[in-house]
Amino acid sequence: MDLNDNNEIASYLWDLDDDGAYETDAGGQALCVLSYAELTSLGLGAGGTYDISLKLTDTTGLFDTAYSQLTITPEPATLALLLLGGLALLHRRPED
Q: Where do the domains of the chain lie? A: 9-92
Q: Per 3-state DSSP, what percentage of the chain is helix, strand, and coil (rounded to 5)?
A: 5, 45, 50
pLDDT score recorded for residue 72: 87
Give bridge partners of residue 81 from the DSSP assignment: 90
CATH topology of domain 9-92: Immunoglobulin-like (2.60.40)
Question: How far apart are the C-alpha atoms of 25 and 48, rounded to whole Å?
Answer: 22
pLDDT score recorded for residue 91: 46
pLDDT tens per residue across span 48-80: 899 999 999 999 999 999 999 988 887 665 555
